[in-house]
Structure 1
């Protein structure tokens, strides 16, 4: 069973991943990943939205925690690995 903290972390981490893709200097599939990421981010909730949702529905959402720079480094490594494999 997914807890409110796990659910919120998944949403925040996914948003961070999409932001990283949207701001990437190098895109392997001629802008496809970046275009999709920008489209998804247009309506993706911000931490303030999650915070309001957590106050209104604490059984579904948890208040987001501070951003973790080490999480972004992990996403960057995954994207670089993916880019390397698809370019071969």
Structure 2
């Protein structure tokens, strides 16, 4: 089970990861990138988490649109 601390940390670290990807022109180790992405996704908020947050803080979040993917 993901704790609020782990979920918050995943969001913050994912932002840092994306900033690093956007600024680094010499990304060559795909295995390291894949490992980092999997580590971050482990505790990344699910749509249900975002929906609960949106209900509690409508000025901060919007409930995610329902996906038609299966």
Alignment correspondent of 2:44: 44
Alignment correspondent of 1:56: 56
Mapped partners of 2:53, 2:30: distance in 1:
36
TM-score (norm 2): 0.52
Q: Structure 1 unaligned segments of length 5 or more: list them.
A: 1-10, 15-27, 70-88
The structure with the largest helix share of the pair is 1
TM-score (norm 1): 0.42
**Cα RMSD (Å):** 2.6
Structure 1 segments of 4+ aligned residues over 3 angstroms from their partners: none
Change (3 A) 1:68 1:29: farther
Q: Deviations over 1:9-38 (max 9, x none)?
A: xx8xx8xxxxxxxxxxxxx62511110001
- The aligned length equals 44
Alignment correspondent of 1:18: none
Report 1:1-88 matches (<5 A).
29-67=29-67
